[in-house]
C-alpha cells in the first residue's frame, strides 16, 4: 500500500479523523502556553513525536507485509493457496509413481529493477536452460512478464541469492513422475494448467483428489518390477525388429488386475509437450488390431465348452477349405487329418474354420459377446476403445473370425477375454486399481471350469511341442498361442503380406487347481521388419524372457520340467462338461 492509495478523495472519513486529531493537538499546545505550564508543553511535544514515529513504523510494516504477502512485487511472489491437493500415485507395493511438488514460476517486473541488462545477464548465467529469447520477451513487458515456469527449489534458490530487484517467484503445485517414462501410458499426464489428460490421472481423478484431501496415496495395480521388465524386453524386441509400434501386457487372470502395461514408443510424462502423437498413443487401449491366430484359443475353447469337440476330435486339413468365393489355407500346411490339439499346435486355419462351422454362427456370436470381444474392454482407462466387428455373423465371416481375421480388438480386450478362458470360466473386468489381497472377484460365468483346465493343458502343449516353443521359460510351465495377422492396405485394396501384426499370448503356470494364481502375458509387434514377421518369431522370445524375469517377483515357483515327448492329455471328454447356456 502506498501514500497515493490513501488519497483524501478515496478515504474522506479517514482524513477527517486525522485532521480532527491534529487540531486537538494544536489546541493542547495553546492551552499549555495559556496556563504557563512549559513542562506540559514539552510532554505533549514528546508524545506527538513518539506518536508520529509509531504511526510511521506501523505504515511501513503494513506496507512490507502487503508487499511480501499480497502484492506482485518482491522476490517472495504471491502466496500459493486454494489449489486442491492431489494424492500421490504408488504401485501395489507402495513405490512412488507420481507426486505433487512445489515448483516456481520466475517473472520479472521492469518497474522494480534498476538495470535490465544486468538482470538479463545474471538470469542467463544462473539458469543454463533459459534462453535469451525468453528473457528478452519478459523484459519487454510493460509491467510484469513471465520468464520461465517450472523452476525447481534449487533453481529458485540460485536466482534468489542474486538479490536482483524486480525478480518474482510464484509457487505452483506441479505433478512429477520420478521414474520418468516408466508406465507413462498407464499413469497419464497433466496439461500445463494442471488438469489430467490421460491414463490413471484422468480415469481416477476424483479418487485422487479425495485421497489427497485425506493425505493418503492411491495404490495402482501395477508392480514396478514387472513393469520395468516388460518395458525393457519390449524395447529390446522393438530395436531388433523395428516395428511401427508395440504392446506389452501382464494381468492377473484371477482378479483382472493389470500388473504391467507398456506401449512402445513411450514418452516422459514430465514433458509431454516434447512427445509426438505416436509416442502419446496408448496402443494397448486405444488401438485395435486383427490379432490373427491368438483367436484360435477362443474358438477351441468355445468348441470344447459347446460340446462340439473334445481335445481328441479330428478335423480334415488334407486340403484347403473352399468357402464361397475364397479358399482358406494353412500357413504351414500339414496336409493330413489333425486332432483338435494338433489344430491348435500347428495353428491350422483349416481345422479352426471347420470347428467354427460346427459351432455355428449364432452360438459363436453369443460366446464372443460373453467374452467381451464385441465391445470395449471393461477397464477404468478412458482410452479403451471399441472393436471393429463383423456386420453380420454368417458362416463366411465366422470362419474368418475363428482364426482372428475380420475382427479388430484392442490388446486390453484380448487380455480380458483370455482371462475368462484361463481363470475357470469367469468374466472378470480389468482394473488399474490395487485390489485387497483377499478379494477374488466372482464375475459372470461364461465357460465351465473343465473347459478352462482343458485350455491350460492345450496351451501348455503348444509351448512344449507346437508353434510357441520360443516362449518357454524353464520350470514356469508356460502355455500360449502365436498370432500373425495381415493388415489391410488401402493402397492395394487388400491384405498385405508385408504389413503384419505378430503377437504371442501366454499364460503361466498352467498346472495346479483351477483357482491357482495365474498370469497372462501378451507381446504384440505392429508391422515388424525382417525376413520373418510371424508372432512365434518376433513376439514369443520376448514373452519367454519376460516370464523368466517376473516369475520370481510374482511368487511363482519353478517346477521340474515334464519330458518334451510327453503327451499333454486334456482332462475328460467334452461331453462330461456342464452346460453354460451360451
Q: Which residues form the catalytic set?
A: 293
CA nearest 294: which of 425, 188, 215, 407? 407
| Residue 208 to residue 197: CA distance in whole angstroms | 14
Q: Which distant-in-sequence residues (6+ apart) come within 8 Å of 259 by Cβ?
A: 92, 221, 222, 223, 226, 227, 250, 251, 252, 519, 554
If DSSP codes are grouped into helix, strand and coil, which group holds residue 449? Answer: helix
Phi, psi of 226 (to 5 degrees): -70, -45
| Residue 372 to residue 416: CA distance in whole angstroms | 8
Residue 499 · residue 474 · CB < 8 Å: no
Buried b / exposed e over 337-346, threshold 16 CB at 10 Å, is ebbbbbbbbb
Where does residue 573 rank: exposed (0-12), middle (13-18), buried (19+ CB within 10 A)? middle
Instruction: For residue 298, give the C-alpha cell.
Output: 477362443
Sign of the torsion angle spanned by Cα atoms 104, 206, 373, 456: positive
CA nearest 291: which of 570, 563, 535? 535
| Residue 184 to residue 196: CA distance in whole angstroms | 13
Amino acid at each position: 500500500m502506498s501514500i497515493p492509495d490513501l488519497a483524501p478523495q478515496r478515504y474522506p472519513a479517514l482524513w477527517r479523523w486525522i485532521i480532527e486529531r491534529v487540531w486537538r493537538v494544536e489546541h493542547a499546545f495553546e492551552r499549555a502556553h495559556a496556563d504557563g505550564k512549559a513542562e506540559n508543553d514539552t510532554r505533549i511535544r514528546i508524545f506527538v513525536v513518539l506518536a508520529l514515529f509509531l504511526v510511521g513504523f506501523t505504515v511501513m510494516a503494513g506496507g512490507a507485509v502487503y508487499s511480501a504477502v499480497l502484492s506482485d512485487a518482491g522476490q517472495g511472489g504471491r502466496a500459493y493457496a486454494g489449489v486442491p491437493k492431489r494424492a500421490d500415485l504408488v504401485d501395489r507395493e507402495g513405490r512412488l509413481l507420481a507426486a505433487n511438488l512445489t515448483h516456481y514460476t520466475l517473472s520479472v517486473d521492469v518497474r522494480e529493477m534498476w538495470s535490465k541488462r544486468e538482470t538479463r545477464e545474471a538470469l542467463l548465467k544462473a539458469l543454463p536452460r533459459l534462453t535469451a529469447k525468453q528473457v528478452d520477451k519478459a523484459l519487454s513487458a510493460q509491467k510484469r512478464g513471465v520468464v520461465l515456469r517450472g523452476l525447481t527449489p534449487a533453481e529458485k534458490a540460485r536466482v534468489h541469492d542474486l538479490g536482483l530487484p524486480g525478480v518474482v517467484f510464484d509457487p505452483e503445485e506441479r505433478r512429477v513422475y520420478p521414474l520418468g517414462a516408466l508406465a507413462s501410458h498407464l499413469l497419464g499426464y497433466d496439461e500445463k494448467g494442471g488438469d489430467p489428460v490421460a491414463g490413471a490421472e484422468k480415469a481416477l481423478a476424483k479418487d485422487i483428489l479425495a485421497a489427497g484431501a485425506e493425505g493418503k496415496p492411491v495404490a495402482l495395480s501395477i508392480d514396478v518390477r514387472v513393469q520395468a521388465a516388460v518395458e525393457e524386453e519390449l524395447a529390446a524386441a522393438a530395436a531388433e525388429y523395428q516395428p511401427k509400434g508395440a504392446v506389452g501386457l501382464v494381468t492377473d487372470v484371477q482378479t483382472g488386475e493389470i500388473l504391467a502395461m507398456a506401449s512402445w514408443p513411450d514418452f516422459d510424462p514430465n514433458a509431454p509437450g516434447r512427445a509426438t502423437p505416436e509416442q502419446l498413443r496408448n496402443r494397448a487401449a486405444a488401438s485395435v488390431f486383427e490379432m490373427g491366430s491368438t483367436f484360435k484359443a477362443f474358438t477351441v475353447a468355445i468348441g470344447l465348452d459347446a460340446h462340439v469337440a473334445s481335445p481328441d476330435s479330428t478335423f480334415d486339413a488334407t486340403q484347403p477349405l473352399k468357402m464361397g468365393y475364397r479358399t482358406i489355407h494353412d500357413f504351414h500346411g500339414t496336409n493330413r487329418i489333425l486332432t483338435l490339439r494338433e489344430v491348435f499346435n500347428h495353428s491350422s486355419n483349416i481345422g479352426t474354420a471347420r470347428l467354427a462351422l460346427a459351432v455355428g454362427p449364432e452360438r459363436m456370436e453369443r460366446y464372443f459377446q460373453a467374452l467381451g470381444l464385441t465391445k470395449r474392454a471393461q477397464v477404468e482407462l478412458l482410452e479403451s476403445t471399441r472393436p471393429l466387428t463383423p456386420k453380420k455373423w454368417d458362416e463366411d465371416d465366422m470362419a474368418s473370425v475363428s482364426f482372428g481375421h475380420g475382427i479388430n480388438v484392442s490388446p486390453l480386450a484380448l487380455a480380458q477375454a483370455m482371462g475368462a478362458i484361463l481363470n475357470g470360466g469367469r468374466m472378470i473386468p480389468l482394473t488399474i486399481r490395487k485390489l485387497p489381497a483377499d478379494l477374488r472377484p466372482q464375475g459372470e460365468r461364461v465357460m465351465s471350469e473343465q473347459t478352462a483346465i482343458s485350455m491350460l493343458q492345450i496351451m501348455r502343449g503348444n509351448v512344449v511341442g507346437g508353434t510357441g516353443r520360443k516362449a518357454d521359460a524353464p520350470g514356469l510351465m508356460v502355455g500360449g498361442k502365436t498370432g500373425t495377422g495381415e493388415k489391410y492396405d488401402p493402397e492395394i485394396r487388400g491384405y498385405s503380406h508385408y504389413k503384419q501384426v505378430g503377437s504371442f499370448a501366454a499364460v503361466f503356470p498352467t498346472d495346479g487347481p483351477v483357482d491357482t494364481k495365474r498370469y497372462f502375458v501378451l507381446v504384440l509387434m505392429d508391422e515388424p521388419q525382417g525376413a520373418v514377421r510371424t508372432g512365434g518369431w518376433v513376439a514369443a522370445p520376448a514373452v519367454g524372457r519376460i516370464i523368466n524375469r517376473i516369475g520370481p517377483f510374482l511368487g511363482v515357483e519353478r517346477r521340474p520340467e515334464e519330458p518334451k515327448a510327453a503327451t499333454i492329455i486334456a482332462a475328460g471328454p467334452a461331453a462330461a462338461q456342464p452346460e453354460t447356456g451360451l
